[in-house]
Amino acid sequence: MTRATRIWHIEERFGYFYSTNHFGGFTRHGTREQAVAAIEQDIAEYGDRWRDQ
């Protein structure tokens, strides 16, 4: 069974960076670099992609 591809982007709110996908899942990070690293790890593991690709 495969899971649906998540399409990720980063939102900045109140000084935090959120790695967010179109299904509503997100994680909060202190820096943009941490948010990018989290998304890149997920993409490598599950085959997800960035919104602008």
The 10s digit of each residue's pLDDT in 5-29 is: 999 999 999 999 999 999 999 999 9
Domain boundary assignment for the chain: 7-50
- Kindly state the average pLDDT of the residues 36-51: 95
For 14: left if phi > 0, alpha if psi spans -120 to 50, otherwise beta; the answer is: left
User: Using CA atoms, how far apart are residues 34 and 21, in angstroms rounded to an integer?
Assistant: 16
- Kindly state the average pLDDT of the residues 35-51: 95
Share above pLDDT 90 across residues of the chain, in percent, rounded to a whole number: 85
pTM of the model: 0.86
Encoded tokens for 8: 């990720």
List all residues 6 or more positions away from 42 whose beta carbon is below 8 Å from its beta carbon. Answer: 6, 8, 19, 48
Comparison of pLDDT for 51 and 2, the residue scoring more:
51
